[in-house]
Amino acid sequence: QFTVFHIDPSRSADVLTQIPSPPFQGVLGCDYFSAYRKYMEEHNTQVQFCLAHLIRDVKFLTTLPDAATRRWADQMLQALRQLFHV
């Protein structure tokens, strides 16, 4: 059981398919970059999307003009606060 970090000057999908090489049996921690979604679908890999990215995106939704979207985003932020309070 270990964690692998790889820093590369490129964010191309080619880099992701090289490290880790399939069949990857763990959980891939990542942001929402499309290469991760492609890898997940092609290799049946479990993915844990970055919660910090999710929180940032939900906070952005609270600034939009649509009232229903803002209410939903406020409810999501409250749920995330409760999650991290635990």
Mind listing the pLDDT tens digit for each residue in 32-80? 888 888 888 888 888 898 999 999 999 999 999 999 999 999 999 999 9
More confident residue, 70 or 20: 70
**Cα 14 from Cα 58, distance rounded (Å):** 30
Secondary structure letter of residue 28 according to DSSP? E
17-21, 32-36, 79-83: range with lowest mean pLDDT: 17-21
pLDDT of residue 21: 64
